[in-house]
Structure 1
Amino acid sequence: MPRPWKRLAGTSGPDKKGLSGKRTKTENSNELSALVENSNAQTTSDSKNHGQNLSNYWLMKTEPESRLEKGVDVKFSIEDLKAEPEQTACWDGVRNYQARNFLRAMKLEDEAFFYHSNCKEPGIAGLVKIVKEAYPDHTQFEKNSPHYDPSSKKDNPKWFMVDVQLVRKLKRFISLAELKTYHQAHKTSDGPLKNMALFTRQRLSIQSLTQEEFDFILHLEEKEAN
């Protein structure tokens, strides 16, 4: 049975407080279709340049607030994941080539931060793990899906997804604002978040993390917010 649709933040720009209404479409396959031929070379280059280690740690963005797209509510919060059978869901709807390639690089038991995006207070809400490696995203073939891509073929699918399972909610919510404070400080002190993709590649809905970045952020849940 198909899991609830999730609209994943992707190419809509940095998270901001006080957004006017709902955000516009992101990672839209129709907008990307004209760029298909040129994307593969760029994607390969991006993968090589974005940190030599496509580590086993990730950050995955999703929208926790209701927003209708083609009549479908694309909301998917950490509470929605928690309510799923076995607290597991497919991570569908990614329509960006770099983010897709990160999905395909994920391995079983890889850990990822569950990140609330495009909402009043963006930030990291919890921890998930990969329980099924990349396989074709069924929503690309469903005409009533917000993520339908008529240019994708079943014998040669463009888009992939993984299954994630909730590990736990963090002991406290770690906001984008707090992470940005550390990022700015670490740029001058050579700290672990100095090159964090959340700020250097903020449009990506799927981002790789180094172990140093992951460990530092996880440690923050034990500290009081700045």
Structure 2
Amino acid sequence: MAHWLLKTEPDVFSFDDLMRAPNRTSGWDGVRNYQARNFLRDGMKKGDGVLIYHSSADPPAVVGVAEVAREGYPDPTQFDPQNDHYDPESVPGAPRWFQVDVKAVHKLAHPITLQEIRETKALSKMPLVQRGQRLSVQPVGEKEFALIVRMGEK
């Protein structure tokens, strides 16, 4: 089983929104970066653990734990001209963008801020804290995942 971090802007779609979704599950759509797309399409597998990270928050933090509920499939927003994520060059027969379904597991009792992650030596290798790493979908090591979950449950 692999582990991932998914970034979201809480004013657009928060972890609370995921908790309120039917079956606490939602498609993770709108990702428009090729490397992140590849993780969604090829890397993420059903049952993989997911940390939900609120970016553009004050402070930015990991706020919840989820799991991949459905593996990569074409993101329907790419075909909808009314959607902000519409891609006129993508066609149903050869979709460019993919999404997964994510199911909320639990909210952390204590959000783990970006500052806390930066200050924790065991988390210093996470892509989240590396210069130039701005991907909205990032792999997370098993030990890093477990540590963040433990920190958030204290």
TM-score, with structure 1 as normaliser: 0.65
| 1:95 paired residue among 28, 32, 36 | 32
Tell me which residue corresponds to 1:165: 103
Q: Deviations over 1:3-43 (max 9, x none)?
A: xxxxxxxxxxxxxxxxxxxxxxxxxxxxxxxxxxxxxxxxx
Query: Do residues 109 (structure 1) and 47 (structure 2) align?
Result: yes
Amino acid at match of 1:169: K
**Mapped partners of 2:148, 2:107: distance in 1:** 14
1:172 deviation in Å?
Answer: 1.1
Q: Deviations over 1:93-117 (max 9, x none)?
A: 0000111111121111101001101
Q: Secondary structure of 1:149's match? A: coil
Tell me which residue corresponds to 1:81: 18
Query: Do residues 58 (structure 1) and 7 (structure 2) align?
Result: no
Percentage of identical aligned residues: 47
Q: Which runs of 5+ in 2 are unaligned?
A: none
Amino acid at match of 2:117: L
TM-score, with structure 2 as normaliser: 0.94
Query: Do residues 133 (structure 1) and 71 (structure 2) align?
Result: yes
Q: Deviations over 1:34-90 (max 9, x none)?
A: xxxxxxxxxxxxxxxxxxxxx61000000102xxxxxxxxx1001111111111100
1:213 deviation in Å?
Answer: 1.1
**Mapped partners of 1:79, 1:210: distance in 2:** 25
Runs (4+) of structure 1 exceeding 2 A deviation are: none
Q: Give the 3 Å change call, closer, same or farther, for CA 209–177 of structure 1 in structure 2.
A: same
RCO greater where, 1 or 2, for CA within 8 Å and sep 6 or more?
2
C-alpha RMSD over aligned residues: 1.2
Q: Deviations over 1:142-180 (max 9, x none)?
A: 001010011111111110000011101012111111111
Tell me which residue corresponds to 1:193: 123
**Mapped partners of 1:88, 1:128: distance in 2:** 9
Tell me which residue corresponds to 1:4: none
**Number of aligned residues:** 152
Amino acid at match of 2:139: S
Report if aligned partners of 2:118, 2:124 keep a CA contact under 8 Å in 1: no
**Mapped partners of 1:90, 1:163: distance in 2:** 4
Q: Secondary structure of 1:103's match? A: helix
1:181 deviation in Å?
Answer: 1.3
